[in-house]
Amino acid sequence: MFLQEREGMKMGFGSQKLAVFFIGFVAIIGFTNFSQGVIIDSDNGTGNASPPTSPSTFPYWDSIGTAGGGSCVYLGSGYCLSAYHIKVLDFDTGHYSKTVNLGGVDYDIDDNTTWQRFKLGSNDADLMLFHLTTIPTPIVPVSNIITTMQKNNTKVWMMGYGYNRAAAKSYWDDNWTLTDPNNYTYSGYYWGAGHTKRWGTNVIDLKDHLVDDGYGITQTYGATFNSGVGDNESVVAIGDSGGPVFINPSSTWWLAGINITRGGYPGQPWNTSVYGKSSYFADMSAYPITAVGGTVTLQDFMGDVSSQKVTIEIRTPGLTTPLQTHLITLQSTGGYSLITCLPAPGPYDLAVKGSHWLRQKANVSIPISTADFTLINGDCNGDNSVTSDDLSFILSAMDSVSDGPGWDSTADMDGDLEITSTDLSIALLNMDIAGNP
Ligand SMILES: [Ca+2]
Ligand SMILES: [Ca+2]
Ligand SMILES: [Ca+2]
């Protein structure tokens, strides 16, 4: 089956159902790799493959990447935003690599950091945040994200790596047989082959609209693909899932949504875009994102702090089971930043553990501006307490040097790349101290 098709519930507007199609990539045997994207109604459909320049220059073109079978957008601190079904469709089947491509460079996805699925009330959304193992330094993070619901008739720029459009328009009868342009029921376009980045425009004509696409119930905006309206009227196609939708009030680009699905008529061929049906994109005003940051001071350490990763758990206050786990590489100053989809404002515990440092916990209210930590050294074996086991560990590596025989970096308390009595005295000084649970 090339395209999985599900019935979606049109919720919040009575019980009317609409057919929705997934817009993740599917493998199409025999298709060659054109370089095209979002289906646009203008000209021969091949335009808009470079960033918009009006009403202001779009600065985030390289921030839109491919993720598995779809698209994603980079938000900063190593975090990307996409549709949840990109993960489900791709990673559970193992058909796609665990990388994203941003600005022509592949970046590995970090499986040690929680894949964050957004939630609204009791509804899991078809929307997720995930983390990369390295910061894609040249990529400009998308920093402006809407926090208020947009009005109908707001102009949007839809972007993603969806399929190309066939050059010519098609006309179908009631049974989806191609027919006379002067006597038809449906009209629109077949898709061409391949996928790359493209943008198109539309206007919101539906808001505050819950869509169930089979991978979550998501608050969305809808934008209908209309004939003859000009501009760069567009609709999403397979591959656009996870791609961003922007608005541009007052010459500033704001992320308003993430493409998740599209509507379809009963019997509509999967590889078509037909006038009168809509694109649906998650309403980011319903799904707040919070950046949390601060400094982690690694006590008694003179080594390269930027070589150190810390595990930061976000927990329900008083509990030790993490709601989310983030594996963060510290900046050389000890700075850290993470992005969470957890609802704010709300009380949480942050618990930070370094490789051979004890865990420290702080009660915080998200959103917060900073949360700083100072971690006690001496826990070589990672059991979150400094005991004689840690001393033995250091003694067994004593006098070794970096990458030499017997070397173990977790015995190098001070990070000077050799195991000496200094390392032993650091552990001795903190003997019998336990970290926060
Ligand atoms: Ca429209
Ligand atoms: Ca220990
Ligand atoms: Ca040392």
Separation in Å, CA 428 to CA 27, 92, 234, 386: 60, 47, 67, 8
Give the confidence band of 123 by pLDDT, cuts at 50, 70, 90: very high
Q: How far is the CA of 134 from the centre of ligand 3 (A)?
A: 27
Q: What is the pLDDT of residue 88?
A: 67
Q: What is the pLDDT of residue 39?
A: 85
Q: Which ligand is nearest to the CA of 303?
A: 3
Q: How far is the CA of 413 from the centre of ligand 3 (A)?
A: 5
Q: Which ligand is nearest to the CA of 430?
A: 2
Query: Domains in the chain, please, with CATH?
Result: 5-286 (2.40.10.120), 290-429 (2.60.40.4130)
Give the model confidence (pLDDT) of 226-278 as tens digits. Answer: 999 989 999 999 889 999 999 999 999 999 999 999 999 999 999 999 999 99
Give the confidence band of 394 by pLDDT, cuts at 50, 70, 90: very high
Give the model confidence (pLDDT) of 72-97 as tens digits. Answer: 999 999 999 999 988 866 655 555 56
Q: What is the pLDDT of residue 69?
A: 77
Residue 329 has pLDDT above 60, yes or no: yes
Q: How far is the CA of 10 from the centre of ligand 3 (A)?
A: 62
Q: How far is the CA of 380 from the centre of ligand 2 (A)?
A: 5
Q: How far is the CA of 295 from the centre of ligand 2 (A)?
A: 23
Q: What is the pLDDT of residue 196?
A: 75
Give the model confidence (pLDDT) of 39-63 as tens digits. Answer: 888 888 888 999 999 999 999 999 9
Helix (H) or strand (E) segment spanning residue 389: helix 388-397
Q: How far is the CA of 223 from the centre of ligand 1 (A)?
A: 6
Cα 147 to chain centroid distance, Å, stands at 18
Residue 13 has pLDDT above 50, yes or no: no
**Following DSSP, what letter does each residue of 56-88 receive, concatenated?**
S--TTGGGEEEETTEEEEEEETTEEEE-HHHHH
Q: What is the mean pLDDT of residues 359-373?
A: 90
Give the confidence band of 202 by pLDDT, cuts at 50, 70, 90: very high
Q: How far is the CA of 30 from the centre of ligand 2 (A)?
A: 58
- Burial of 149 from C-beta contacts in 10 A (0-12 / 13-18 / 19+): middle
**Following DSSP, what letter does each residue of 89-140 receive, concatenated?**
HHHTTT-S-SEEEETTEEEEB-TTSPPEEEEETTEEEEEEEEEBSS--TTSP
Strand partners, 377: 357
Q: What is the pLDDT of residue 37?
A: 52
Give the confidence band of 11 by pLDDT, cuts at 50, 70, 90: very low
Separation in Å, CA 118 to CA 79, 169, 182, 258, 283: 14, 38, 46, 12, 11
Give the confidence band of 34 by pLDDT, cuts at 50, 70, 90: very low
Using a CB cutoff of 5 Å, list residues around ligand 2, an ion: 379, 381, 383, 390
